[in-house]
Structures are given as C-alpha cells and as structure tokens.
Amino acid sequence: MDLPDIRIVLVAPSHPGNIGAAARAMKNMGLTQLVLVNPRQFPHPDAAARASGADDVLAQARVAGSLAEALAGCGLVAATTSRERDQYFRVVALRAAAARLVAAARRSPAAVVFGAERTGLTNEELERAHLLIRIPANDAYPSLNLAMAVQLVAYELLCACGEAAAPTEPPAAPLASGEEMDCLFRHLAQVLEEIDFRDRTQSGTHLMSRIRRLLLRAELDQNEVNILRGILTAVQGRRRHAGEGQPR
C-alpha cells in the first residue's frame, strides 16, 4: 500500500511525551510526515522514550515557526477540534474526512492539524482549514489526549487507503495551496476596497472571514484560483480604463 502524502501537524505541543506517542501512532498506521509548530520541548528524552520504535519518524520530524510554514505546499487541510464552533465552519465526520484526505493527497500534499493539549486550535488557526474534524466522544468528557487523537485519525487514514480504488480518471489539477489562497484573499480584499464594498454589519469586521471560509469550503484547485484572480484583475483594469481611479 502506497503511503499517502499527508502531514500530521501538531501546533504548540506542550508535552514531549505526546510528540513521541504521536510518532508511534503514525508509524503504526503508515504515516511518516510529522511537523511540529513551536513545540515547547523538542528534541527531548521523553519524546524518544514514548516513540518506542518510531525513532525514524521522530528523527525526520520538521519544526516550523508558524502554521503557515507547516502547511506550505499543502492542498486540502483538515483541522481537529473538540469544541462546538460557529456555523460558518464546516464539520465533517472523521471517516468521511479521512476518505477525502486520502483522495486529495493523490493531487497534492494534504495535512491534518492538531492543537495544543490544553487550548486546542484558535479560530485564526482553524481558518486555514478547509474542513474540521470532531471525533465522537462521551459528552461528559469529550477531550482526548493528543496522541490518542492522532492514533484515531491515523487509523481512519489507513483504512481509507485500503478502501480507495485506483483512480480511473486522469488526476484533476492540484488543490490550491495555502499560499495561493492567501494571495487570492489579499487580491479580493484589495478589489473590495477599491469598489467600496464593505461589511455593513454592526461590527463591520466579519466580511473577509466569511468570504475566506466560503472559498475554503469550495476547495478550489489552482486553475480555479487563477480564474478568480483573472476576474479580479479584469475588474481592476476596467476601473482604470473608465477613469475611476487607480488601485489603492
């Protein structure tokens, strides 16, 4: 079975033992790409001890200074959460999310993001994800240990790899990377400002966040992002041609 091109990203893990246990869980299920965003302690003897045979996964783990750096080059990104979020975040069942991640990893690298043990992921960090995963648990005690959560996700990814049929159609264009989506969001924000399209709600601060989530839910590929940016550029060109002022 080919290993899927899927990164496991741990954001600000505070306990080095959990890093080692996560590496072990990954190796059990055939995953090798571990990325740590600002770990509190790494490398650390406790991480090596808990890895228990997954020293190779631990040794090649990459440390990143930001979540954006950790996700560089990725297409589909799923983030895990144990808390209820507002309706603008799309939540997908773990098994369905695993199948989508494995399919997406055929087109471009994919990633699953896990938050810090005590606080999880912030809303700002979640906004980099196309979808959220909530692992079903006892309502009275829903919080999972970080390594346990990695184990469950890794298991479903392994099952999805086994169930995935060989593709019968030519692969589609790769999903747009986080960097390409950020360029689109900046371009769109610039055009909205130029045409004076503003958030009319009372707080006046949520428009771009909602647009960002809408476009991430669409899971745009690179060609689609290029089309949208071409439209935005045409809007800017038409405004200049009509003498309505240069872009700010």
Give me the pLDDT at residue 111, please: 98
The structural domains of the chain, with segments of one domain joined by +, span 6-163, 178-241
Instruction: Report yes or no: 205 and 199 within 8 Å, Cβ to Cβ.
Output: yes
Give CA–CA dist 115/112, Å, rounded: 10
Give me the pLDDT at residue 143, please: 79
Give me the pLDDT at residue 241, please: 79
Instruction: Report yes or no: 78 and 111 within 8 Å, Cβ to Cβ.
Output: yes
Q: For the chain, report the end-to-end CA distance as a whole number of angstroms.
A: 52
* 6-163: CATH superfamily: SPOUT methyltransferase, trefoil knot domain (3.40.1280.10)
Six token digits for residue 154:
């890794």
Q: What is the pTM of this model?
A: 0.85
Per-residue pLDDT 10s for the chain (248 aa) are 567 899 999 999 999 999 999 999 999 999 999 999 999 999 999 999 999 999 999 999 999 999 999 999 999 999 998 766 555 678 999 999 999 999 999 999 999 999 999 889 998 999 999 999 988 888 888 878 999 999 999 999 999 998 765 555 556 788 999 999 999 999 999 999 999 998 877 666 789 998 999 999 999 999 999 999 999 999 999 888 776 555 44
> Does 6-163 match 178-241 in CATH topology?
no
- Cα dist from 203 to 81, 88, 196, 212, 214, whole Å: 26, 17, 17, 17, 19
Give me the pLDDT at residue 136, please: 84
- Pick 178-241's CATH classification: 1.10.260.40, 1.20.120.1760, 3.40.50.970, 1.10.8.590: 1.10.8.590
- Cα dist from 210 to 54, 88, 167, 193, whole Å: 41, 7, 34, 16
